[in-house]
Every structure is written in structure tokens, then in C-alpha cells.
Amino acid sequence: MRALVTGGGGFLGRYVVEQLLARGDQVRVLGRRDYPDLTALGVECVRGDVADANIVSQACAGMDVVFHTAAIAGIWGRWEDFYQANVVGTENVVAGCHEHGVSRLVYTSSPSVTFDGTDQNGVGESVPYPTRWLAHYPRSKAIAEQYVLKANQPGKLLTCALRPHLIWGPRDQHLIPRLIERAKSGKLRIVGHGRNMVDMIYVENAAFAHLQAADALREGGKVCGKAYFLSQGEPVMCWVWINELLKLAKIPPLTRKISYRAAYAIGWLMEWGYRILGKYNSEPRMTRFLAAQLATNHYFNIAAARHDFGYAPKINTQEGMRRLAETL
């Protein structure tokens, strides 16, 4: 099939591209930079921003399916920036699909669209969107997710949304490098009691789930118009896993702690201070959202993804950690 991957030069997007190429699909990438390595693999690269409706429309022309992985992620920044990239960008992708008769759209969402700062213990897709938001990123992703799911129209455009949690693996330029940098500088602390359970997903599993969902998007199919949690299917103790990551990088384990209440209060103060000073181009060391993510349980029931499009982790956590260790 002919597939467009927005954000195809990014962490998850690049794995989606590689897996599409491996099975013989034609691939086009929309990204904000040039990617000579992808061009060398036969990928057509379109340079531009998803907030640019004209560029998005051009990128959608002639495609059978769009994988919309492009987004601005983060715990801090201006609402306008998140809105333009994550909401307007998604609206442009849907419009491009309609304009050029693209029949399928797989949207990369996030489990944080359901996170209200409290424990999530094995919740499924019936859990509602929260009524309050601790950061702009999950709010913007929730708006975009709802837009994509409402755009599902048999005979026109079939859509679904995937919510992979804590994507990790080789070539990650965000989660793991940040953990390592903060640990090396002595700025990382265990938040809360340190026994909170979280879900995560190895990047190749997340990418393969996107291909499975796209293949299952067909008239009358179970996947159409639905959102799905994705994970390894086996929650881990957050801080034990983080210490395992640090061990791979030959960094001593974390032992120092800060209470959830203290971290949350510090996050609130830092957000207030950064907002007063207009510091939106740098990120506070702590925010309310980050404190809550690091201290609470958030793991999910992935039975729907297993049942509706056959998702199952192809690479277990132990093998994923082995592969990651080879790159650190």
C-alpha cells in the first residue's frame, strides 16, 4: 500500500517507516527536516509542518493510509504551540485525507489523554477523559483524538487512535537520554514511595501495532472509530525499571526520595514562576503533571487491542532491554 507517515523522521515514526518498507509498502514521510538516510532507502520525503494545511494536503495526495505520529510532546510550553501542532495539525491531516480520498487514518495518541493525576489501575478504554488537565500536551492530544474518532465515516474515511505508553528502545532521543542526564547531574529523585506500577512499550512493538491497526481498518471492522491502549502487557515498578535503565548506562541506582506532596508543590511553584517570567522556551525541572506521572500507578488493560486487531508484543521486555543495552 501507499502510506504517509507524518513525523516519520521521529522516534516512533521511523520504526513505522522501516516496518512498512520491510513488507514492501511505498512510503512517504512528512517532517520538518530533510532525512537523507530515509531517502536512500527509497522513502519520498516532504519537508514541512503539519500546521501548514497546504503542505499536509500535498503529502496526502495519492495515499491509501496515513499514520499520523507527528506531535509536540512535553510537560511545559505555550498552549498555542501545542494547539497548533497537535490539534490544528491533526485537523489538517483529516482534511487532507478527505480532499484526496485517503481511506484510512491511524492516529498516534497517548494514554495521558485520560490522566487526571490519580492512580489508573488496569483501566480500559471506557475510562473517560478528565475534567481537569495538569499539562497542555494531554489536553491537546485528547482534543485531537476525539476529532479523529469523530471523523470516522464508513465509505469515506476509517479512523482509529492508538495510545502507546512510555515508548522506549534504541534511538530514543527523549525519555532515556533525559533520565541519564538528570541522574548523572544528581537532579533525579524517586518521587513518592517508589512502588508505583506503570506500563510501557518497546518501540518496535508500538510500531507493529500501528501496521496491525491499519490493516484492520476496513468497512464494518471492529477497529473503526475506536481508541486503544498499548503496552508490553506486563506493568513494571516504575523506579525499579528506571534503576535498571540507569544500570545499563553504568550509573548508580537512585536512593534519594522526595514525597509526592512535596514534588507536586514544587511543580506548582515552578510553573507559576516560569509563567510569571515568561519562560516558555525552557522546561522546569518539576511540574504538577511530571510529579503525578512519576508517583502514581498508571497501567492499562490492553485486551481490546489483543481482541480487535491481534496485538501482542513481539519483543518481550527482557529482549528489549538487551537490545537497548547494546546502544548505550
- The Cα-based distances of 141 to 98, 111, 144, 179, 184 in angstroms read 21, 10, 5, 24, 32
For residues 295-305, b (16+ Cβ closer than 10 Å) or e, as one string?
bbbbbbbbebb
| Secondary structure E strands in 64-148 | 65-68, 104-108, 120-123
Query: How far is it, in rounded angstroms, from Cα 188 to Cα 175?
Result: 13
Query: What's residue 92's pLDDT?
Result: 98
137 is catalytic: yes
Structure-derived torsion over alpha carbons of residues 303, 306, 309, 310, reported in degrees to the nearest 10: -170
Query: What's residue 234's pLDDT?
Result: 95
DSSP string over 157-177: BEEEEEEE-SEESTT-SSHHH
DSSP string over 64-76: SEEEE------S-
Query: How far is it, in rounded angstroms, from Cα 84 to Cα 71?
Result: 10
Query: 70: buried, middle or exposed (CB in 10 Å: 19+, 13-18, 0-12)?
Result: buried
Question: Which contacts (CB < 8 Å, 24+ apart) does range 238-245 have?
Answer: 238/194, 238/196, 238/197, 238/198, 238/294, 239/190, 239/194, 239/195, 239/196, 241/198, 241/200, 242/179, 244/321, 245/176, 245/179, 245/180, 245/324
Query: What's residue 229's pLDDT?
Result: 98
Q: How many CA atoms lie within 13 A of 169 on its CB side?
A: 23
What would the grid cell of residue 148 be? 479523529
Other CB atoms within 10 Å distance of the CB of residue 279: 13
Query: How far is it, in rounded angstroms, from Cα 137 to Cα 29?
Result: 23
With residues binned 3-state (H G I as helix, E B as strand, rest as coil), the percentages for the chain, rounded to 5, are 45, 15, 40
Query: What's residue 134's pLDDT?
Result: 95
Domain extents in the chain: 2-166+198-233+299-325
Q: Are the C-beta atoms of residues 90 and 144 closer than 8 Å to each other? A: yes
Other CB atoms within 10 Å distance of the CB of residue 256: 8
Active-site residue, from 137, 202, 264, 299: 137
For residues 91-103, b (16+ Cβ closer than 10 Å) or e, as one string?
bbbbebbbebebb
DSSP character for 153? Answer: B
The tens-digit pLDDT sequence of the chain (328 residues) is 999 999 999 999 999 999 999 999 999 999 999 999 999 999 999 999 999 999 999 999 999 999 999 999 999 999 999 999 999 999 999 999 999 999 999 999 999 999 999 999 999 999 999 999 999 999 999 999 999 999 999 999 999 999 999 999 999 988 899 999 999 998 899 999 999 999 999 999 999 999 999 999 999 899 999 999 999 999 999 999 999 999 999 999 999 999 999 999 999 999 999 999 999 988 999 999 999 999 999 999 999 999 999 999 999 999 999 999 998 8
Measured between alpha carbons, how far apart are the two ends of the chain, in Å? 35
- Please state the pTM of the whole predicted model: 0.95
**Nearest C-alpha neighbor of 96 from the set 136, 162, 51:** 51
Domain 2-166+198-233+299-325 is found in CATH 1.10.287.610: no
Query: What's residue 328's pLDDT?
Result: 83
**Nearest C-alpha neighbor of 126 from the set 141, 115, 114:** 114
